[in-house]
Each structure stands twice: as structure tokens, then as C-alpha cells.
Amino acid sequence: MATTQTPTPHNGAKAGDIAETVLMPGDPLRAKYIAENFLKDAVCFNTVRNMLGYTGTYEGKRVSVMGGGMGMPSVGIYTYELYHFYGVKNIIRVGSAGGIADGVHTHDVIIAMGACTDSNYAAQYRLPGTFAPVADYGLLKKAVESAEEQ
């Protein structure tokens, strides 16, 4: 649930500047590229720490795109603030990802159903157990269908 604590220390947006759905590449310049090439009437809502964020429309739907940085600490800060202070409901990770697996090659499209880690990052928050987020099945299915059409 969004609060009135906006802007935050890491995001200069005001309440209402960010859409409920945010695309999140790691690189802020990739966010700028997506905004300039895919969104109509894109407006920059964040330049704090050069973590660029934009809101515009795609096929008539309001959507935002914002860089998340490198690694869990950076993306943890940005996603927390988006969910807790800006009313964001969906964050979709887009862009590249590192990994090693037989049969996966450069430029392959990977649509992940879930994610987990053996990192100790979450332990600092003294959370009970671990959390492995999974994708909304409807959104996952649409992503797969769209990729197959390409």
C-alpha cells in the first residue's frame, strides 16, 4: 500500500507519477532506451543517482520503466520503494541475466517461472525463512505465447 512518503531517498517521483506496472531492466540506460523506443509520451520521473525512470503508454496502457541496478541490494531498494511508497502492483524484470547452463546461448529468450538464491542477503532483515518469488501464471502464459509468435 502506497504512503505519502514521496519522493523517497532513492526516487524523485511524486505520488501518481509511476504506473501500477513497471518494467525493470538493470541498466538505467536500457530503461531510457525502452522509454524512447517503445513508450508514447514518455515522461522522466526519476534521475536520482542516475537511476532513470519513465512513465508513458504502450498500446494505450499506462506503464513505467525504471532501472534497478546491479545485484540484490540495489534492486531490493528500488522494488521495495516502488511497492511500498508508489502503489506499484507489478514489476517485470526485463533485460539480460547471468547464468551458466548447457543449451542456453547468447540471445536466447528465457521466461522464468520463479527465482531463488542461496545468498545471505535476506538474512540481514531477520525474516522467518526464505522467499522464492514466482510469476503470475496469466502474465507468464502471455509472455510465452508472445515469444512463440515471434
Split at pLDDT 50, 70, 90, the class of 1 is: very low
Q: Are residues 91 and 122 located together in one domain of the fold?
A: no
Q: Are residues 10 and 64 located together in one domain of the fold?
A: yes
4 within domain boundaries: yes
102 within domain boundaries: no
CATH number of the domain bearing residue 46: 3.40.50.1580
Q: Are residues 74 and 114 located together in one domain of the fold?
A: no
Number of domains in the chain: 2
Q: Are residues 91 and 111 located together in one domain of the fold?
A: no
Mean pLDDT confidence for 110-135: 80
121 within domain boundaries: yes
Q: Are residues 47 and 118 located together in one domain of the fold?
A: no
Q: pLDDT for 57-109, tens place per residue? A: 999 999 999 999 998 889 989 999 999 999 999 999 998 777 778 888 888 88
Q: Are residues 70 and 12 located together in one domain of the fold?
A: yes
Report which of 68, 64, 135, 119 is spatially closest to residue 96, judged by C-alpha positions: 68
- Is the model's pLDDT at 2 over the cut of 60? no
* Contacts of the segment 73-77: beta carbons below 8 A, 24+ positions apart: 73/121, 75/24, 75/26, 76/121, 77/10
Q: pLDDT for 30-52, tens place per residue? A: 999 999 999 999 999 999 999 99
76, 96, 116 — which closes off a domain?
Answer: 96
* Range of the structural domain that residue 75 is part of: 1-96
101 within domain boundaries: no
The rounded distance, in Å, linking the Cα atoms of 57 and 79 is 21
77 within domain boundaries: yes
